[in-house]
């Protein structure tokens, strides 16, 4: 278990003890200790998926076999048989196949090559093997991804599934390629947009002289710097275990683990701090004053419900055209910048052109949707905050201890990755943590978006481009192909995507309204409940002792945050 993992579990254990201490003052904190227990379970079970990405020629499977210490991954498979394969340590060796319909079936590990023939039926494989190297990597879970030159649907399904789940990405490039191609740079851009980091491995270093390998690594480093990507670059080969270990050492699981849970843990801590502050104020006030505060909180809850209804009505009215236009503009910009590449590809083969268009559309959608959902989240948190705060006196405002800022950070960091991870069915969100696994920090588990947006890349574009391909390629020269792409492909892609983007954003907006309103509702009710409890016990005595317990608990909650949550130290 990671030191960070142990530290967070220790933090949650201490927090649970403080919550029990508050109970000795005859007070309960709404939602606790259930939330703390849910966090502890999520922290204890969390894995860090590391998708290993690259072309078939990059030698991904061979490299992974070197890491594992045995040739268990097939290295002679065809592109059309590639399936994402997660590598986990377990003394009970087995193979779990997750089918596209959501069904899971177990097989012996010797059946791995056979299952490759059923690639069209499968979403992913989980390979559990008893190898010391995998045990030492835990909680990192390496994922052998389909190569860039695998069939379009397999490649896009894999990227769509893992773009929201990967904690860190490993891009493998053959030393023979000599540089990062545009396709890899596009994927790197998507990864960083989701708030993830990556490393680059220049593989097959034994095929060139050391000086040439270093020159290639330096050039790739310059490419990354030009793109604004902070990433480590290392040279590896299947014959050099030390270089492989150095590559894995560039991944910092401690930092990864902390970044996943920090926003939500801070949000929970601030919520508890706010509730304890309200309890102390309540004990310091007379019954009449507390009743007035309770009345104000009830007004705030009514304002919250009113705002929720207004936002729901606005969603039903479909007031998202401007946002849809902005997302489609992002896609159009990506496509327009690749017209030359698409035209050259169109004169060679339909598959090559479709692959370029698909990558650009997926990349443009990811960029546009991230901007859109971040902006929608910010507006929603601000709108709810203003409506609720207007009904509360200053000492009850949720903005006093930056709780709303923490809520927004959690939402922006997890919403889009969580929604994209639902590609392919319910199993997509199971490992994502946070919003997808439990009602943490007032946010209930997200429903599946009914129309996964990246699925459009798989289903709509191939048919659309196939109809146009003949007209573009037959007897045309490069400039004619460019004109055809600008006049036909770009407008048709826009028309095909518009209803899909609109449906996705409507569902995302509904999810944001639900998540934000439930977070506010839980926090406001927590303060109301504790004031009502104080008034019910107004004649019970022991006031000084109870206040002493709460003051001590409040100080301990703040100290815990400062010692364990990085955001609280800033």
Q: Tokens 């100290």 correspond to what residue?
A: 559
Q: Are 42 and 433 in contact (CB under 8 A)?
A: yes
Write the burial class of residue 47 (CB in 10 Å: 0-12 exposed, 13-18 middle, 19+ buried).
Answer: middle
Q: Which residue has the higher pLDDT, 306 or 450?
A: 306
Domain end call among 488, 509, 526: 526
Alpha helices in 337-460, H assignment, sequence order: 339-346, 350-389, 403-420, 455-459
Q: What is the pLDDT of residues 35-90, one digit of tens each?
A: 899 999 989 888 889 999 887 777 888 888 888 888 888 776 665 557 889 999 99
DSSP secondary structure letters along 214-239: HHHHHHHHHHHHHHT---EEEE-BTT
Please tell me the predicted confidence (pLDDT) of residue 142.
92
Report the CATH number at residue 143: 3.40.50.300
Say if 10 falls within a structural domain: no
312 and 245 in a common domain: no
Calculate the CA 37 to chain-centre distance: 22
Q: Give me the residues paired with residue 200 across strands.
A: 171, 233
337 lies in the same domain as 473: yes
Average pLDDT of the segment spanning 249-262: 82
> What is the domain range of residue 69?
47-255
Pair 99, 211 in one domain: yes
Taking the alpha carbons at both ends of the chain, their separation in whole angstroms is: 27
Asked whether residue 267 is assigned to any structural domain, the reply reads no
Q: How far apart are CA 462 and CA 357, in angstroms?
A: 9
Assess whether 137 and 194 both reside in one domain. yes
Tell me the average pLDDT across 496-522: 88
The whole-model pTM stands at 0.79
Residue 206: pLDDT over 70: yes
Q: What is the pLDDT of residues 469-507, one digit of tens each?
A: 655 555 567 888 888 888 888 998 898 889 889 888 888
- Window from 155-164, 351-360, 459-468 with minimum mean pLDDT: 459-468
**Structural domain includes residue 427:** no
Residue 443 · residue 35 · CB < 8 Å: no
Question: H helices then E strands: how many in the chain?
Answer: 21, 9
Please give the pLDDT value at position 148: 66
Q: Is 464 helix (H, G, I), strand (E, B) or coil?
A: helix
- The secondary structure element, H or E, covering residue 87 is strand 85-89
* Average of per-residue pLDDT across 265-292: 89
In a domain, 503, yes or no: yes
Does residue 37 form part of some domain? no
231 and 359 share a domain? no
Tell me how crowded residue 383 is: count the other CB atoms within 10 A of its CB.
15
SS3 36: helix
pLDDT above 60: residue 141: yes
Distances (CA, A) of 430 to 29, 419, 435, 438, 447: 28, 12, 10, 10, 12
In three-state secondary structure terms, 118 is coil
Same domain, 128 and 203: yes
User: Is residue 558 in some structural domain?
Assistant: no
What contacts 271, CB < 8 A, 6 or more positions away?
Answer: 403, 441, 442, 522, 523, 526
What is the spatial distance between Cα 222 and Cα 226, in angstroms, rounded to a whole number? 6
Question: What gap in Å lies between CA 160 and CA 73, rounded to an integer?
Answer: 23
Q: Are strands 197-203 and 168-174 parallel, antiparallel or unpaired?
A: parallel
Q: Are residues 312 and 392 in the same domain?
A: yes
Please tell me whether residues 103 and 196 are part of one structural domain. Answer: yes
Note whether 232 and 333 are same-domain residues: no
Q: Are residues 399 and 516 in the same domain?
A: yes
Quote the number of domains for the chain: 2
Cα angle 153, 453, 194 (rounded to 5 degrees) comes to: 95
- 371 found inside a domain: yes
Q: Are 524 and 257 in contact (CB under 8 A)?
A: no
> Do the domain assignments include residue 277?
no
| Same domain, yes or no: 245 and 368 | no
Q: Does residue 224 share a domain with residue 80?
A: yes
Per-residue model confidence (pLDDT) at position 415: 81
Per-residue pLDDT reduced to its tens digit, 78-94: 655 578 899 999 999 99
Q: pLDDT tens digit string along 302-321?
A: 888 888 888 877 766 567 88
User: In 3-state terms, what secondary structure has residue 537?
Assistant: coil
What is the pLDDT at residue 465?
Answer: 65
Q: Which of 171-175, 334-338, 420-424 has the lowest mean pLDDT?
A: 420-424
Structural contact between residues 161 and 171, judged by C-beta atoms closer than 8 angstroms:
no
Residue 385 falls in which region: left (phi positive, over 0), alpha (psi -120 to 50) or beta? alpha
């Amino acid at each position: 278990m990671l030191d960070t993992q142990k530290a967070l579990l220790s933090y949650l254990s201490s927090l649970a003890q403080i919550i029990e201490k508050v109970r000795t003052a005859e007070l309960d904190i709404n939602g606790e200790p259930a939330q703390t227990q849910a966090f502890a379970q999520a922290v204890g079970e969390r894995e860090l998926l590391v998708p290993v990405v690259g072309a078939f020629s990059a030698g991904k499977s061979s490299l992974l076999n070197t890491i594992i210490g045995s040739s268990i991954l097939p290295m002679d498979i065809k592109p059309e048989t590639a399936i994402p394969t997660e590598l986990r340590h377990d003394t009970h060796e087995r193979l779990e196949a997750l089918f596209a319909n959501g069904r899971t079936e177990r097989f012996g590990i010797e059946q791995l090559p056979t299952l490759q023939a059923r690639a069209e039926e499968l979403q992913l494989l989980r390979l559990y093997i008893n190898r010391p190297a995998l045990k030492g990597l835990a909680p990192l879970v390496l994922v052998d991804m389909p190569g860039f030159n695998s069939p379009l649907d397999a490649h896009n399904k894999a990227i769509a599934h893992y773009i929201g789940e990967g904690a860190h990405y490993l891009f493998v490039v053959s030393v023979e390629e000599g540089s990062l191609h545009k396709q890899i740079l596009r994927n790197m851009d998507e990864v960083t947009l989701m708030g993830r980091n990556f490393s680059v491995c220049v593989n097959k270093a034994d095929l060139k002289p050391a000086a040439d390998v270093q020159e290639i690594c330096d050039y790739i480093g310059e490419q990354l710097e030009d793109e604004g990507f902070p990433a480590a670059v290392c040279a590896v080969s299947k014959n050099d275990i030390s270089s492989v270990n150095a590559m894995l050492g560039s991944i910092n699981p401690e930092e990864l683990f902390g970044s996943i849970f920090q926003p939500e843990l801070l949000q929970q801590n601030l919520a508890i701090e706010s509730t304890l502050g309200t309890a102390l104020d309540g004990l310091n006030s007379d019954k009449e004053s507390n009743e007035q505060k309770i009345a104000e909180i009830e007004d705030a809850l009514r304002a919250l419900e009113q705002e929720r209804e207004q936002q729901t009505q606005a969603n039903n009215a479909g007031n998202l055209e401007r946002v849809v236009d902005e997302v489609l503009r992002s896609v159009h910009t990506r496509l327009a910048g690749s017209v030359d590449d698409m035209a050259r590809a169109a004169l060679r083969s339909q598959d090559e052109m479709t692959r370029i268009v698909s990558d650009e559309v997926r990349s443009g959608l990811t960029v546009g949707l991230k901007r859109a959902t971040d902006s929608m989240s910010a507006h929603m948190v601000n709108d709810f905050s203003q409506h609720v705060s207007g009904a509360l006196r200053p000492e009850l405002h949720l903005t006093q201890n930056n709780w709303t800022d923490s809520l927004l950070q959690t939402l922006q960091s997890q919403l889009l990755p969580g929604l994209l991870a639902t590609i392919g069915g319910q199993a997509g969100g199971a490992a994502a943590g946070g919003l997808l696994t439990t009602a943490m920090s007032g946010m209930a588990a997200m429903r599946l978006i009914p129309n996964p947006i990246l699925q459009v890349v798989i289903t709509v574009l191939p048919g659309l481009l196939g109809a146009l391909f003949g007209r573009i390629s037959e007897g045309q020269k490069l400039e004619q192909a460019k004109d055809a792409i600008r006049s036909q492909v770009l407008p048709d892609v826009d028309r095909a995507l518009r209803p899909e983007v609109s449906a996705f954003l409507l569902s995302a907006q509904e999810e944001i309204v639900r998540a934000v309103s439930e977070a506010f509702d839980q926090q406001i009710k927590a303060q109301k409940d504790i004031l009502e409890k104080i008034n019910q016990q107004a004649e019970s005595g022991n006031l000084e002792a109870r206040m002493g317990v709460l003051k001590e608990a409040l100080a301990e909650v703040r100290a815990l945050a400062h010692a364990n949550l990085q955001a609280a130290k800033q």
